[in-house]
Structure 1
């Protein structure tokens, strides 16, 4: 029997059974009887279908090539945001945004994923639809719309072709009735363990914007605005299921893929953390800190513009002071949520849009005039270019483009690239927290130049090294052989 792997495994050390849910224990397959594919799309192209029992659509989005092809990584991020969904969204336009030719992009996809960009996008839609069918009671029409299918007929035909049965036949019988609108839609998003949930929540809580974000009792909640519609999400940890549970309250089901993609980025669910931790542990000084925080992720940003505003607000002041300024900005210019007795307490506004801040005469914040000018310039730049905080070209090109905005220097650009654009090799070397953390590693003060030189060995995962340095800045020195308390 030939068994195709749909979790991007390419070696015997990462067997296809790893996509199975914890409750599933399939019999091990002999290696010589297995055929491995670099992506789910490649397996689909070869005629295989996703396993109906193992549910590979819930598996973390991992791939052995990550860290070797930045262009493909950026392309996948854009595809997750819907770059190939809908009319007028072509591979040629995607390639242009990435700064490469269409033919070259197709070659890269075939080389690293074994499938074309269109096939990858279609596979994502199918797997997301299957995810919704299994975990929600949404009507099939809404499932089709949420997954990006403009035609219900095409949706049904594709499922019949792949699974030899209609979509409704995939839904398991359940006594749970379809929840009302106030209950929201709850999905499980899996990750590859370990996952340092406590550190993630601590990081987000310290930076939570009043009115927009709340972190309490092990739950992260925030407001959401997409295309003028508003809602909220709530995220909790399911450690025994190696998953996060996200409950989404939003009026448009067509925004579900974008919301889920943002949650994945914010909580860094696609990280191959074992590979990253192993790589960083080659540094003997950094290794004890990696061991202290196994599974430490690099938090993303919910929205690129929001993250960039926070970065400018945080220039040369403490995290707490920047958080206070962000709260004032939201209270003055954010969109108030509709009054709802069942709404989550503490969530009152959505973060102001770039257009809102670009057109307002006065921001009304007590901060240096130069920084206010920077905020206005940033808002105008984001209004003029909606793709400003999307993957574009190389990391050097992304940094250079951000630095053309008045008031954005190297530190701010690197921080935005790390958290908003999700450049996993971004590294704001002049950050005071990183310098202090590095001093703990070496037992002596360091400089940005020296830290940059030191960080060369951490490529292509310098963003994760930065997280460990930030953690080191706030933690006690770990006990290791040959050290003292």
Structure 2
């Protein structure tokens, strides 16, 4: 991928955090590649070359710096500049613990394996396997340094079912074994079994408006499933690892603003199983890999959004822990207030969800999966018969494949879901926006959006909202968040 060497040079010499994760500096004389914020003495310009991603640098034969730790760099926005097919492939690769063959990946994307390999070579300069191995090795390094999990568990967490394969790939990239990295990072006297909870660190590129993000999530928190207390977000979770076992637990997330990272404490996971999937889901939930500068460059052209951006420079699009969960919540929330929707969703959880008690004695619930709701009637939730029928139809459509949450275009998703009775464009767009984290989703008929865009006490019309939002593409979802933030009173969706 093409990058501007002059810009990279200025950024690394200034150690500008705005460029952290946007590119990596490889030093020819040492064979090491670094983040632009590396505290080491900057090498001479003639001795460096620049790469857009860590995978490219590793594939070129450079090994990660042990001082600045490229494994901790925020996600690269460079991925967003590649073809749609490659973006979809990357999301599919990151959405499962184990690797997929190129043939299987291509089949899921509806293209040939030869064409997919060519796209990766053209847009990323590396093969799908090289991307997978590099990202998983970087994640494994993070677990070796930041947790006390046994190395065999870390291999499994990173997607390797063979310890021998894990050691081989890791040594190829880091030029040292996992055991050597563990000895360098931890005292041998540490009892790994007593080291609880497991902690993950999610680095991000500042700024991040943590308080507005928590306020948004807190107003919609499901009792027993999630909560916001002070500056901490907590929720129950369950992860399917593909071996017919669900691992459940509770997580706590808070912001370490001085180090530009979120700290995640995970309780209840035996061996920490599911950490890679947890990492990916949380990055999407808190929208940590978004390119704020690119979004602001487009949205600030609108005077209303520009004033909101000045107040909230670290804008994020609040995501969802699970697309199916949020789809049901969106259906429940049609034409009612946020508080009422959360209350009804809470009833769904207590009636159909699985409960468990954590180590502190607190009872938590897991949001039910589609399989658990296959025979649910929903009429006991306090919704209309029509709404209960819509919920039943959506669950059935999820189970039989008429509705799927695989990576797809916004148009395809909306066509798919609005074909079901009782689901209109608002619901489809809102699920796409929050549940699927589609940045261009825009529920134009939303009352809050129409109020924010109105004038002299009159609400705007949906057609007017769509016309105005056309200039915000492909970031209309962020425009919607800013419009809701602009409302000084009244309920927001």
- Which TM-score applies when normalising by structure 2? 0.87
C-alpha distance in 2, partners of 1:303/1:390?
12
Q: Mind listing any 5+ residue stretches in structure 1 that lack a counterpart?
A: 477-485
CA gap 1:170/1:232 in 2 versus in 1, 3 angstroms: same
In the alignment, which residue of structure 1 is the partner of 2:118?
Answer: 107
The aligned runs of 1:242-281 (5 Å cut-off) are 242-249=260-267, 250-251=269-270, 253-281=272-300
In the alignment, which residue of structure 1 is the partner of 2:428?
Answer: 413
In the alignment, which residue of structure 1 is the partner of 2:404?
Answer: 388
Structure showing greater relative contact order (alpha-carbon pairs closer than 8 Å, 6 or more residues apart):
1
| SS in structure 2 at match of 1:137 | coil
C-alpha distance in 1, partners of 2:4/2:68?
18
Runs of 4+ with deviation above 6 angstroms: 20-23
Q: C-alpha offsets along residues 338-381 of structure 1, whole Å, 9 cap, x if unaligned?
A: x34425x4x52100111111223455211111111111111122
C-alpha distance in 1, partners of 2:403/2:277?
15
In the alignment, which residue of structure 2 is the partner of 1:373?
Answer: 389
Distance apart, 1:229 and its partner CA: 2.7
| SS in structure 2 at match of 1:331 | helix
CA-based RMSD of the aligned residues comes to 2.6
Q: Which of 322, 339, 362 does residue 341 from structure 2 map onto?
A: 322
In the alignment, which residue of structure 2 is the partner of 1:304?
Answer: 323
Q: Mind listing any 5+ residue stretches in structure 2 that lack a counterpart?
A: 22-33, 241-245
Q: C-alpha offsets along residues 291-330 of structure 1, whole Å, 9 cap, x if unaligned?
A: 1111110011100110000000100000000000011111
Aligned length: 462
The aligned runs of 1:43-54 (5 Å cut-off) are 43-54=57-68
The question of whether the paired residues in 2 share the 8 Å contact of 1:378 and 1:405 is answered with yes
Distance apart, 1:181 and its partner CA: 6.4
CA gap 1:252/1:174 in 2 versus in 1, 3 angstroms: closer
1:13 aligned to 2:7? yes
| SS in structure 2 at match of 1:149 | coil
The aligned runs of 1:218-229 (5 Å cut-off) are 218-227=231-240, 228-229=246-247
In the alignment, which residue of structure 2 is the partner of 1:424?
Answer: 439
C-alpha distance in 2, partners of 1:115/1:145?
24
CA gap 1:178/1:295 in 2 versus in 1, 3 angstroms: farther
Q: Which of 413, 416, 428 does residue 401 from structure 1 map onto?
A: 416
In the alignment, which residue of structure 2 is the partner of 1:203?
Answer: 216
| SS in structure 1 at match of 2:483 | helix
In the alignment, which residue of structure 1 is the partner of 2:78?
Answer: 64
The aligned runs of 1:465-476 (5 Å cut-off) are 465-474=479-488
Distance apart, 1:11 and its partner CA: 4.7
The question of whether the paired residues in 1 share the 8 Å contact of 2:39 and 2:68 is answered with no
C-alpha distance in 1, partners of 2:192/2:37?
26
Distance apart, 1:384 and its partner CA: 2.5
CA gap 1:463/1:362 in 2 versus in 1, 3 angstroms: closer
In the alignment, which residue of structure 2 is the partner of 1:149?
Answer: 160
The question of whether the paired residues in 2 share the 8 Å contact of 1:390 and 1:421 is answered with no
CA gap 1:12/1:205 in 2 versus in 1, 3 angstroms: farther
C-alpha distance in 1, partners of 2:354/2:460?
44
In the alignment, which residue of structure 2 is the partner of 1:194?
Answer: 207
The question of whether the paired residues in 2 share the 8 Å contact of 1:57 and 1:131 is answered with yes
In the alignment, which residue of structure 1 is the partner of 2:30?
Answer: none
Greater displacement, 404-413 / 205-214: 404-413
In the alignment, which residue of structure 1 is the partner of 2:149?
Answer: 138
In the alignment, which residue of structure 2 is the partner of 1:479?
Answer: none
1:456 aligned to 2:470? yes
C-alpha distance in 1, partners of 2:134/2:329?
35
The aligned runs of 1:72-83 (5 Å cut-off) are 72-82=86-96
Distance apart, 1:179 and its partner CA: 5.3
- Which TM-score applies when normalising by structure 1? 0.88
CA gap 1:133/1:159 in 2 versus in 1, 3 angstroms: same
The question of whether the paired residues in 2 share the 8 Å contact of 1:435 and 1:448 is answered with yes
